[in-house]
Amino acid sequence: MFRGARVAVVVPAFNEADKIAATVKAVPSFVDDMIVVDDGSGDGTGMRARASAGGARIEVVMHQQNRGVGAAIATGYARALALGADVVVVMAGDGQMDPTDLPGLLAPVVDGTADYAKGNRLAWPGAWRQIPPVRLMGTVALAWLTGAVTGYRRLSDPQCGYTAISRAILLAVGPERIYPRYGYPNDLLARLADVGARVVEVPVRPVYGPAWRSGLRPLRVILPLSGILLRAAARRLRRGGPPTRVPDATTGSCE
């Protein structure tokens, strides 16, 4: 537990057999439940996760086919709720999220000052020199677009998947509504805005190894994100602007 709250960590993973063991073993001991979701991997990621588990707190859920990172997270979210988690964290299976940053991410949610905390890699000292240029440019552009649609205009790093969400807000959003593939962070932010969630950003260390390569392609990004943001904008217009409850957060408050 963390400050009296039951914490679950969801680890979506696709073909991460060479990294999943280290990721699982690095999760802090105060985490009550760890849910590894193998999203149809063909390299034995799920079996490697089971072999490295070494404790009752770890559960591996298998998707028989690849359904997308958003779908894997939704599966993990649903399982975490069933286990009674008060706060649910997402940590990728590829080791790009530093477990030492986890307490800082949990604190605002557990303390009740935020409903959803997102990692902000750009706020980390020297991050501008560490983040690959292609990802940095995309992050800045998507921050502006996502902020314009959702009202979370002060968010700097909407694409960071290192997050913590409260049980109450996760139930309000509904895991089953999350966009299944790339673009889920933007879709989730829009749905959080729909329910008036308080969103904050917390500095986290960007982790990119020497062999890092972006798997993103322009068409793969532009087309789905355009649809996600257009649907979010339409929902906001239908409800007549920002939600009735206007969050008051340190950063990323909904306007």
Last residue of a domain, which of 73, 95, 117?
Answer: 95
Last residue of a domain, which of 95, 110, 131?
Answer: 95
Cα(88)–Cα(81) distance, rounded to whole angstroms? 8
Q: What is the pLDDT of residue 15?
A: 96
Domain span including residue 141: 98-255
For the ranges 2-16, 138-152, 194-208, the lowest mean pLDDT is seen at 138-152
Whether residues 163 and 214 fall in one domain? yes
Whether residues 68 and 32 fall in one domain? yes
Mean pLDDT within 240-254: 48
Would you say the pTM of this structure is higher than 0.75? yes
Higher per-residue pLDDT: 133 or 120: 120
Q: Which phi and psi (to 5°) does residue 3 adopt?
A: 55, 40
Q: What is the pLDDT of residue 133?
A: 76
Whether residues 117 and 187 fall in one domain? yes
| Residue recorded with tokens 């921050």 | 143
Whether residues 104 and 214 fall in one domain? yes
Confidence band, pLDDT 50/70/90 cuts, at residue 250:
very low
Whether residues 81 and 110 fall in one domain? no
Whether residues 80 and 119 fall in one domain? no
Number of domains the chain is built from: 2
Structure-block tokens of residue 4: 């009296």
Whether residues 22 and 132 fall in one domain? no
List the CATH number of the domain containing 74: 3.90.550.10
Beta strands, E only, 130-193: 163-166
Whether residues 3 and 89 fall in one domain? yes
Residue 218 has pLDDT above 70, yes or no: no
Quickly list DSSP for 76-119: HHHHHHHTT-SEEEE--TTS-B-GGGHHHHHHHHHTTS-SEEEE
Whether residues 66 and 102 fall in one domain? no
Confidence band, pLDDT 50/70/90 cuts, at residue 158:
very high
Cα(148)–Cα(161) distance, rounded to whole angstroms? 20
Whether residues 217 and 114 fall in one domain? yes
Cβ distance 24 to 47 under 8 Å?
A: no
Whether residues 85 and 66 fall in one domain? yes
Q: What is the pLDDT of residue 38?
A: 98
Q: What is the pLDDT of residue 255?
A: 47
